[in-house]
A = this chain, B = another copy of it.
């Protein structure tokens, strides 16, 4: 659940540390280097090029961080409920909360437009490695970067021949290969069917990243062209039933970020320092928010989203930790590095492997200050919406006048699109919660850095974190979007002239935060990027395209069989069924069934499969991935992974990593019986045009 959005927030600061792919079975493959022969040997089914092409064209990327697929010839798209959540919330009114009630369009006319949601389809890939290489030939440093950017921009422009065509040059294998990807955009997307949030995320945090699981995390959208349903001849027909145990399946989608090239030293740092520190930090924050929510109905309502995000990150980090502790991942990494050392003849690349370990030692001592002052990787720096507005405003005033290339990334011309939207958003501010969040983060800054640290002395003086937070939150005017807009427009002069206490506080705090970031970037991020590029080049020379490149949000295909796994000496089964859902329901959150599901109980087959666990390699960003069988029929809809799945960032351990999907049987039961939309099922079941 929420595997992409939070996952990418988490990865933000580490993505720069990404490295070349180490070996990882089965892998998330690009469509032009899918190991069909290997799959054939193992499972007796060898995907043909035409099979691969059809699968690619039936798949879509949903928004910026999810996956999905066409499921009818009239533009119907399936994805997760949590991937379309912003649309469902947007279409809700005070009178009708679609998150609570769900939504079914009785006919096409009732389908409602989702603002800001588009789906894209990958229609063509061209290898442009040579063109890029030629463009940068003989160049170094800033000149090289500029030449590369220019070449990419030219290729993209040349390719984007129509308004509904979007082209990107994507970097694969850390620069081992460049590919021009041509996508068809569907910018008019409408809501067709959304279950109630209570069944989409049944079990809430307790069941998140767990199995057995009982969720219908599904939403149906429709792509329109010229105000008519898009004609989508190539799609995934919904299978009559879900997959059988041990059956081969495929997941197609756009996994977000993996870091499978982290070295052993980096993984050990994750295991020994970064993840335990993150888990403890998030656990305390969870305690703060849970107890705050107990103050009453309004605190509970306002804290819910923040708590949800913290619990999701916490489960994710705990799962990643568990993966590093309980699987053979580190052992395999050790073997892989030994093999690389013995095979590669690039001595500098081998030396780079040792130098990474030196940088890791620096990272260990610098990370804490960087994390707590900049608030990265799930660590809370200064916290709350109001502080965040102030920091963005202060930094924008400082950064925006600089030349584009010299700005912090989130204030560059491309980065600032999102930053500006955040500055000007109209989310209502819960001041009481803001005080608690900021007070707690300030206390953590004092705790992590010690009361003697110059930044602590400068910010607190002799005051307590709680007093400081209260003064800032009650005194600031930044809850008003108009005030923020004026400050943004007024730039440095407006900031200098502002006597808003939150602005003044940030002006005081920010030099310390920026210094910590700079110190970290120049001692850790930059050297790691350089060293990993060296290693990646040597690896690509050795391995070519036999090992898939790290996931970067581009379309991929994985394969694997339906299987449970062993946990603490016990077998976790591969399936749950509808009977289990009703047994688990308590009538209380987060195990409370919506009325429609209670009413439909007797009409449903209790033995029909509900959710399914499959040894498919997916990560955040794979949410909404169609899971298909050999006939390219939709047998399940990926929506989560088990706890080892969260460790997929670092590598895939086939014996333990599991993707979790909504079984086709549950999709049919939900659409046809619970939501009484047989017309939608009929559309999905219509005979395929191609046969």
Contacts and interface: CB of A to CB of B under 8 A. Distances in A.
A212 B284 CA distance: 25
A290 interface: yes
A462 B588 CA distance: 7
A56 interface: no
A286 B283 CA distance: 9
A285 B283 CA distance: 8
Contacts of A281: 283
Contact of A584 (B446, B447, B452): B452
Interface stretch (A226-234, A291-299, A641-649, A664-672): A291-299
A210 interface: yes
Interface in A244-295: 271-273, 276, 279-281, 283-292, 294-295
A591 interface: yes
Contacts of A279: 276, 279-280
A287 B288 CA distance: 4
A587 interface: yes
Nearest to A291: B291
Contacts of A584: 451-452
Contacts of A588: 462-464
A10 to B, nearest CB: 17
Nearest to A368: B568
Given A276-B276, A280-B283, A288-B287, A452 B212 contact: yes
A569 interface: yes
A333 B290 CA distance: 41
A640 interface: no
A37 interface: no
A436 interface: yes
A287 B283 contact: yes
Contacts of A207: 451
Contacts of A571: none
Contact of A586 (B289, B462, B568): B462
A291 B321 CA distance: 27
A462 to B, nearest CB: 4
Contact of A287 (B284, B447, B460, B568): B284
A206 interface: yes
A295 B291 CA distance: 10
A325 interface: yes
A273 B365 contact: no
Given A279-B276, A462-B586, A365 B568 contact: yes
B321 A276 contact: yes
Contacts of A365: 568-569
Given A287-B286, A325-B272, A325-B273, A451 B294 contact: no
A210 B450 contact: yes
A206 B569 CA distance: 41
A210 B446 CA distance: 13
Nearest to A467: B588
A450 B576 CA distance: 15
A447 B586 contact: no
A541 to B, nearest CB: 36
Interface residues of A, number: 48
A295 B432 CA distance: 12
A531 B482 CA distance: 72
Interface string A289-312: 111101100000000000000000
B591 A451 contact: yes
Most B-side CB within 10 Å, residue of A280, A285, A318, A584: A280
A555 B554 CA distance: 67
B462 A587 contact: yes
A568 B462 CA distance: 27
Most B-side CB within 10 Å, residue of A281, A287, A292, A321: A287
A293 to B, nearest CB: 9
A195 B67 CA distance: 65
A284 B280 CA distance: 8
Contacts of A460: 586
A271 B207 CA distance: 27
A460 B591 CA distance: 13
A281 B276 CA distance: 12
A568 B453 CA distance: 14
Nearest to A294: B436
Interface in A148-167: none
Nearest to A439: B294
Interface in A393-443: 436, 440
A279 B273 CA distance: 13
Contacts of A591: 451
Contacts of A276: 276, 279-280, 321
Nearest to A273: B325
Interface string A552-592: 00000000000000001100000000000000101111010
A66 B39 CA distance: 67
A180 to B, nearest CB: 45
Most B-side CB within 10 Å, residue of A290, A321, A447, A452: A290
A462 B593 CA distance: 13
B447 A206 contact: yes
Nearest to A465: B588
Contacts of A206: 446-447, 450-451
A279 to B, nearest CB: 5
Interface string A321-333: 1000100000000
A436 B587 contact: no
Interface string A444-471: 0011001110000000101110100000
Contact of A288 (B271, B290, B451, B569): B290
Q: Which 7 A-B pairs have the closest CB atoms?
A: A287-B287, A291-B291, A283-B284, A462-B586, A284-B287, A283-B283, A287-B288
Given A291-B436, A291-B440, 20 more contacts: A206-B451, A210-B450, A272-B325, A276-B321, A280-B283, A283-B283, A284-B284, A284-B287, A287-B287, A287-B291, A289-B291, A291-B291, A291-B292, A365-B569, A451-B584, A451-B586, A460-B586, A462-B588, A463-B586, A464-B588
28 contacts: A203-B451, A206-B446, A206-B447, A206-B450, A207-B451, A210-B450, A276-B276, A276-B279, A280-B318, A284-B286, A285-B287, A286-B287, A287-B288, A287-B289, A287-B291, A289-B291, A290-B291, A291-B436, A291-B440, A294-B466, A365-B569, A451-B584, A451-B586, A452-B584, A460-B586, A463-B588, A464-B588, A464-B589
